[in-house]
Amino acid sequence: LAKAPVATPQHSVDAFVKVFLQELNTGQGVTLSRSTVNDQYLALARTVRQYLMTRWLETSRHYAESGSKAIGYLSAEYLLGRQLGNALLATDLGEVAEEAMRGCGLDLARLRAQEVEPGLGNGGLGRLAACFVDSLATMGIPCIGYGIRYEYGIFKQSFVDGRQVEQPDPWLALGNPWEFPHPEASVQVNFGGHTETYDDGGVQRTRWVPDWNVVGVPYNYMVPGYHNGKVNTLRLWSAKATNAFDLALFNSGDYPEAVRAQTFAENITKVLYPEDSTPQGRELRLQQQYFFVACSIRDFIERVLGPDFDLHQLPERIIFQLNDTHPVIAVPELMRILVDERHFEWDEAWQITKQCFAYTCHTLLPEALEVWPTELLGRLLPRHLEIIRRINADFLDEVRASFPGDEQRVRNMSIISDDPNSSVRMAFLATVAGTKVNGVAELHSQLLADKVLHDFDELWPEKFTNVTNGITPRRFICLANPWLSELISDTLGVGWVTDLERLAELEPYAQDPDFRRAFREVKQKAKVHASDILRARDGIELPPGHLVDIMIKRLHEYKRQTLKLLHVVSLYEQVLSGEITASQLQPRTVIFGAKAAPGYWMAKEIIHLINAVGSVINTDPRLEGRLKIAFPANYNVTLAERLIPAADLSEQISLAGLEASGTGNMKLALNGALTIGTDDGANVEIRRLVGDENFFLFGLSEPEVAALRDSGYRPRQYYESNPQLRAALDLISSGIFSNGNREAFAPIVSSLLNEDRFMVLADFQSYMEAQLRVREAFADEEEWTKKAILNVARCGFFSSDRAMGDYLREIWHASAI
Ligand code: 26W
């Protein structure tokens, strides 16, 4: 009896109500009549949790007994989104819960809205990690997701006079029913100090003598599989001061200093860095990275495998997937454990380590590649720097052996660069250590191998591979779009949720007028729902009958929100100048959702400009309400789930060669939006699958971008030779969007005219023409619906289940048990 976990409560309304009231009384310490919405939400979450608990314990036991190979997904970010809805979906308790709450006089939707989403990520990379752990649980693959329990997640965005203002995100303030702290399983993490060699019975060894440490406390989260009775674990680490640390200070009588020391330690997991793409190179960030990987590796080796496990067999039991370079300090950490603590020979330790890691790169922007000054790394982690130097020395010998006499190549490939200052190139370390290196879409993987990591591809071509990203259909179709889900399930049965290629069976229905009508009704319901949300949340009205044109993603110049904005400004200008009449405008609402990194000045200026243009055009009667901008603040996963189903048009308009993959593009296409996009990232694959006629392609291709750059790009030429473009830019400069202040947006305009690093002006004409094709296509309702249905039917490939299958086959060599 002691071995068997408690029984799962019955799958019935009565049982559910009983557990709920119990949780309310004994868990929250309140009666129903005196409870607050937060009490009710917490009790409800704990109720659903009970239905998952046995499955969780069983899944862990089963994995441990099977002795099979697990995935250790190492990611500094998990952008999970709300948990309650997903848990209800996974357990198929949605209707039971709804009825149970109604029986208690409560509204399930209202309780769900009480949950603050865990925003433990910035954007694509963090959301991808969340989709991947969902798929692995659903596929029954042993995986532990390792990460950081930030006390403050991604900042809350609001607008003041159209400008972004950031506020902290105290997501834990009202209690978090989804986490299980395990202080007894805490891990000590060391920092600083120096290294020394010593004689160990005739063998010379090195040891690290650190000078400070903190404790990592694991918080476990359930990752429920969909309808399969499996629950995996996400283990997030929180930093705490060690007792020894402040005891010494307490004893010396310096109470304030002791408290300060505690704060210092706990700062490590205080806040998520809001930088997306440009690393800040801050010491605290390196501390975060080492902190969470040191905890995770120690946890896996000592708690999951146990103290008696023979580490020679480590590669048979684990593969650590590095989600970008953020966790790559795990490589010297494992070497340190094997060599310094377990006394392995260097070469043997390296053979083992190399098999235990694989690396995913998520970017092509040179400024996004992490580099740490050796001074900083050596000060914080002196032993790790020594280990990196030795890995590098051995590696460069290998390069010399393969390319004798090519010292330029040796310098180019060195993990430690001296240009301009001595620093460690983390992407190179990850590439040297990883069994495999993958990009996240075909084009991206090809550019990685051909450009960013070209020398490495020449040395080890077999290392390089592609796994195109995917998204979980559970959250982004089932939860986000219940109307579409129902239509698909009524048509095909329910199997598509875990076998998304079955959406292909919808293809013939594109020709069926009844199905098309039903499909339009689905879109209509989603629009009404999104509209209700925007009204309640932001006071924004979505006019009925408009084409809903959506651009939702982080604000970055390479993603080119300015190009979208120039389209809107140009239409406005054409009406003002009488080139077209308002009645010729196709009724459209352009929805933006975007946060800018707080230190990214230009991105924040662009946010200001979008809001400024919005406030003018939204109220100008000359447009007759036919062109609107909606820019709800604080775009996050929860809002994404509401907006995506409502979209007619998906804007994926990055400069070709710069968006590694994109995943919003997949979510939108799978919800029946058509894409207007460049030949970039996963757009390439979306277009190939849905067909040219169901995708609005525009803009320079990556080779054309490279050629134009080489030939000397002069953006001003486009301004001078294109009257429509000039008129749009001049309208911004005229002060019309800034109460007559002609300087307000001069930095944006002059950056476009003089530098235009992302070739907005070069692609403007082509974009405008593509938008005319959109306009024409949308006017034919039946044809548009056919295209939208075909987008859904042909995008089954973009399930993260498929992506996980690819990783399992090509990289992890692991399988379901
Ligand atoms: C430390 C600064 C920093 C922070 C985040 C540098 C780089 C990053 C990420 C690599 C940025 C990111 O989220 N990349 C996105 O990853 C997605 C998932 O693979 C892709 O779909 C996006 O195209 C890519 O921009």
Cβ(23)–Cβ(43) under 8 Å? yes
Residue of 523, 546, 559, 794 with catalytic role: 559
pLDDT, tens digit (0-9, with 9 covering 90-100), for 77-134: 999 999 999 999 999 999 999 999 999 999 999 999 999 999 999 999 999 999 999 9
- 227 inside domain: yes
Give percent above pLDDT 90 in the chain.
Answer: 94
Tokens matching residue 172: 């834990």
pLDDT of residue 108: 98
- 136 inside domain: yes
Among 468, 484, 500, the domain-final residue is 468
Distance 125 CA to ligand 1 centre (A): 5
> Is the Cβ atom of 662 under 6 angstroms away from ligand 1?
yes
Q: Which atom of ligand 1 sits closest to the CA of residue 324?
A: 10
Q: At what angle do helices 124-138 and 800-807 cross, to 10 degrees?
A: 80
Q: Are residues 450 and 548 in the same domain?
A: no
> Is the Cβ atom of 39 under 6 angstroms away from ligand 1?
no
Q: Are residues 172 and 317 in the same domain?
A: yes
Q: Does 156 qualify as catalytic in the annotation?
A: no
Q: Are residues 447 and 590 in the same domain?
A: no
Q: Which atom of ligand 1 sits closest to the CA of residue 127?
A: 18
**For residue 713, what are the domain limits?**
544-798
Q: Which atom of ligand 1 sits closest to the CA of residue 663?
A: 21
Q: Which atom of ligand 1 sits closest to the CA of residue 659?
A: 23
Q: Are residues 627 and 767 in the same domain?
A: yes
Using the 8-state DSSP alphabet, how is residue 161 labeled? T
> Is the Cβ atom of 632 under 6 angstroms away from ligand 1?
no
Phi and psi dihedrals of 371, rounded to 5? -140, 130
pLDDT of residue 249: 65
What SS3 state is found at 596? Answer: coil
Q: Are residues 463 and 551 in the same domain?
A: no
- 99 inside domain: no
Number of domains in the chain: 2
- 792 inside domain: yes
> Is the Cβ atom of 279 under 6 angstroms away from ligand 1?
yes
Atom 7 of ligand 1: nearest residue by CA position:
277
- 278 inside domain: yes
Alpha carbons 325 and 423: distance in angstroms, whole number: 15
List, in sequence order, the alpha helices (H) in 163-299.
Answer: 243-251, 255-266, 283-298
Q: Does 553 qualify as catalytic in the annotation?
A: yes
Q: Which atom of ligand 1 sits closest to the CA of residue 285?
A: 1
Cβ(602)–Cβ(760) under 8 Å? no
- One-letter amino acid identity for 184? E
pLDDT, tens digit (0-9, with 9 covering 90-100), for 184-197: 999 999 999 999 99
In Å, how far are 193, 466, 562, 664, 686 from 682, measured between CA atoms?
Answer: 46, 12, 21, 10, 6
pLDDT of residue 501: 98
Residue of 271, 324, 362, 678 to test ligand 1 pocket, by largest number of atoms within 8 Å of CB: 362
Query: What mean pLDDT comes out for the span 213-223?
Result: 97
pLDDT, tens digit (0-9, with 9 covering 90-100), for 144-177: 999 999 999 999 999 999 999 999 999 999 999 9
Q: Does 663 qualify as catalytic in the annotation?
A: yes
> Is the Cβ atom of 363 under 6 angstroms away from ligand 1?
yes
Task: Count the Cβ atoms, other than its own, within 10 Å of residue 247.
Answer: 11
List, in sequence order, the alpha helices (H) in 116-268.
Answer: 124-138, 243-251, 255-266
pLDDT, tens digit (0-9, with 9 covering 90-100), for 457-514: 999 999 999 999 999 999 999 999 999 999 999 999 999 999 999 999 999 999 999 9
Residue of 474, 546, 554, 560 with catalytic role: 554
Q: Global pTM?
A: 0.97
Banded pLDDT at 262 (limits 50, 70, 90): confident
What SS3 state is found at 101? Answer: helix
Atom 4 of ligand 1: nearest residue by CA position:
276
Q: Does 554 qualify as catalytic in the annotation?
A: yes
Q: Are residues 448 and 589 in the same domain?
A: no
3-state class percentages of the chain: helix first, strand second, coil last, to nearest 5: 55, 15, 30
Residues 6 or more apart whose Cβ sits within 8 Å of residue 565 = 606, 609, 610, 613
Using the 8-state DSSP alphabet, how is residue 741 labeled? -
Q: Are residues 133 and 248 in the same domain?
A: yes
Phi and psi dihedrals of 722, rounded to 5? -120, 100
| Mean pLDDT score across all residues of the chain | 96
- 522 inside domain: no
Distance 186 CA to ligand 1 centre (A): 30
Q: Which of 561, 339, 350, 361 is nearest to 446 (CA)?
A: 361
Alpha carbons 368 and 464: distance in angstroms, whole number: 20
Is the pLDDT confidence value at 264 over 90?
no
Q: What is the CATH number of the domain that holds 771?
A: 3.40.50.2000
- 512 inside domain: no
pLDDT of residue 366: 85
Give percent above pLDDT 70 in the chain.
Answer: 98
Alpha carbons 674 and 340: distance in angstroms, whole number: 56
Q: Does 102 qualify as catalytic in the annotation?
A: no
Query: E-assigned strands of 450-603?
Result: 464-466, 547-552, 588-593
Q: Are residues 609 and 715 in the same domain?
A: yes
Q: Are residues 445 and 555 in the same domain?
A: no
**Per DSSP, what are the bridge partners of residue 148?**
237
Is the pLDDT confidence value at 248 over 90?
no
Atom 9 of ligand 1: nearest residue by CA position:
277
In Å, how far are 71, 226, 274, 466, 800 from 145, measured between CA atoms?
Answer: 8, 17, 21, 22, 15
Query: E-assigned strands of 114-202?
Result: 119-120, 143-148, 156-160, 163-167, 179-181, 187-191, 194-200
Q: Are residues 202 and 348 in the same domain?
A: yes
- 42 inside domain: no
Distance 659 CA to ligand 1 centre (A): 9
- One-letter amino acid identity for 378? G
Residue of 269, 663, 678, 785 with catalytic role: 663
CA end-to-end span of the chain: 25
> Is the Cβ atom of 125 under 6 angstroms away from ligand 1?
yes
Q: Which atom of ligand 1 sits closest to the CA of residue 365?
A: 7
pLDDT of residue 529: 98
Q: Are residues 462 and 555 in the same domain?
A: no
Residue of 667, 787, 794, 802 with catalytic role: 667
> Is the Cβ atom of 652 under 6 angstroms away from ligand 1?
no
Q: Does 362 qualify as catalytic in the annotation?
A: yes
Question: Is residue 283 packed enough to be buried (19+ CB in 10 Å), middle (13-18) or exposed (0-12)?
Answer: middle
> Is the Cβ atom of 176 under 6 angstroms away from ligand 1?
no
Alpha carbons 502 and 797: distance in angstroms, whole number: 10
Cβ(358)–Cβ(324) under 8 Å? no
